[in-house]
Structure 1
Amino acid sequence: MFSDWRNNPTFPFGELVAVPARHPLATFFHLFFRVSAIVTYVCCDWFSRSFVGCFVTVLLLLSFDFWSVKNVTGRLMVGLRWWNQIDEDGKSHWIFEARKVSPNNTAATEAEARVFWLGLIICPMIWIVFFFSSLFSLKLKWLALVIAGISLQAANLYGYVLCKLGGESDISKVTASFLSQTVFQTASPGDLQKPGLEGLEIHKH
């Protein structure tokens, strides 16, 4: 179930509870690494003939993006976080948390929430396009990098969608519910609900 992370010593940023009303730096880095990885992948042949150099650069950008979105920007921009842990029996558990609303803990703005979810959804779709492009053009040496991009960004998307919807494990139900919420929020921006900010409990799956 969900809990307030300030009481959870396992959260590496548990002491950073003074959240400002707006987070321009977090918003910038939420998009910077993932957009930079895409731009570098598309333009690397123009700037360098070294496949290894391009491969490593894009992979590093993808890794920085995965870490920053999972540990920092999701926490600041939408008040959500997730992680996966292995128990003593070797079972894998997904754990989801949402920040509790308090007078000293300001919720993310609607604009930040929109930027967060749009960046989280659109970029993996672009990497899927790159996958089919590389496959059909027989640029097979890039497939490993494209698959890494899809895997890292899809993992964050999957984790945050589950977290937003309260840890629902049925992925078909998750997808339908998430899309219906997104359509409704787009049609009625004034009624946009801040995801998962009602003091939910930690859920394990």
Structure 2
Amino acid sequence: MLTDENEEDVALFDAEEDAGQRLSKKTNIKHPVACFFHLFFRISAILVYLLCERISNSSIGGMVAIILLLSCDFWTVKNISGRLMVALRWWNQVDEDGQSHWVFESRKGPRKKPSSDSEARIFWLGLIVCPLVWVVFSFSTLFQFNIKWLPVVLMGLVLQGANLYGYVRCKVGGKTDFKNMATNYFGRQFLKQTLSKAEES
């Protein structure tokens, strides 16, 4: 069940962090370490995948390295870089009844935009491009019948796709259902086409 239970402002940052951000308004990138690690783990996993069999005969070491990099990337993007770079976060919580709830939050109010546009571009570019690369890798492993790498590629696709899905839900709004969004969009397009054809005749 998908809910967004907190309607008021979310305390994503503490007071000292906000004060530091006000002092560093002149710089384009306010969180360089978060930007670096946002891209480092995911690009490193892709590079290790591409170079593993060319550098070493043992694929086990490469697989372990890729899985560790993907796990570090998932944790870093979900818990740190999304919060710092675009003021979004998502998680799963279990209530007293044992029901699992997904929570998608974005910072609201006057302090809504603690990050710069450069950071937001870096965040979304890394978040979107890398899962697409893993999609290409999954098709290449299937078509080349290189099945031994398929679990690693699927893990990359699932972990990075989960972060992409979570942050898109945060950006669009936790209560928004993608099916309703698509239905509304196509309904509007159909209405526009119908009205334009009615005006022509």
Normalised-by-shorter TM-score class: 0.7 to 0.9
What residue number does 1:166 align with? 173
CA RMSD of aligned residues (A): 2.4
Which has the bigger relative contact order, CA under 8 A and spacing at least 6? Answer: 1
Taking a change above 3 Å as real, the CA distance of residues 144 and 16 of structure 1, as seen in their structure-2 partners, is farther
Which SS does the other structure have where 1:49 is aligned? coil
Taking a change above 3 Å as real, the CA distance of residues 174 and 167 of structure 1, as seen in their structure-2 partners, is farther
The answer to whether the 8 A contact 1:101-1:107 is kept is no
1:112 and 1:118 map into 2 onto residues whose CA distance is: 10
The answer to whether the 8 A contact 1:62-1:152 is kept is yes
What residue number does 1:120 align with? 127
The amino acid across from 1:54 in the alignment is G
What is the TM-score when the length of structure 2 is the normalising length?
0.76
What is the TM-score when the length of structure 1 is the normalising length?
0.74
What residue number does 1:107 align with? 114
1:166 and 1:60 map into 2 onto residues whose CA distance is: 31
Which SS does the other structure have where 2:140 is aligned? helix
1:173 shift after superposition = 4.7
Range with bigger deviation, 155-164 or 83-92: 83-92
Structure 1 unaligned spans of 5+: 178-205
What residue number does 2:195 align with? none
The amino acid across from 1:65 in the alignment is D
Q: State yes or no: 1:134 paired with 2:123.
A: no
Q: State yes or no: 1:45 paired with 2:81.
A: no
Which SS does the other structure have where 1:84 is aligned? strand
Identity %: 53
1:16 and 1:154 map into 2 onto residues whose CA distance is: 33
Where is the helix percentage greater, Structure 1 or Structure 2?
A: 2
The amino acid across from 2:40 in the alignment is F
What residue number does 1:89 align with? 97
**Equivalent of residue 63 in structure 1, options 63, 71, 84:** 71
Taking a change above 3 Å as real, the CA distance of residues 174 and 160 of structure 1, as seen in their structure-2 partners, is farther
**Equivalent of residue 152 in structure 2, options 136, 145, 148:** 145
The amino acid across from 1:158 in the alignment is Y
The answer to whether the 8 A contact 1:3-1:97 is kept is no
Give the paired residue count: 171
Higher Rg: 2
> What do residues 3-43 of structure 1 show as CA deviations (whole Å, max 9, x unaligned)?
4443xxxx8x7687435341111111111100000011011
> What do residues 144-193 of structure 1 show as CA deviations (whole Å, max 9, x unaligned)?
0011001100110111011111113522455799xxxxxxxxxxxxxxxx
2:150 and 2:60 map into 1 onto residues whose CA distance is: 14
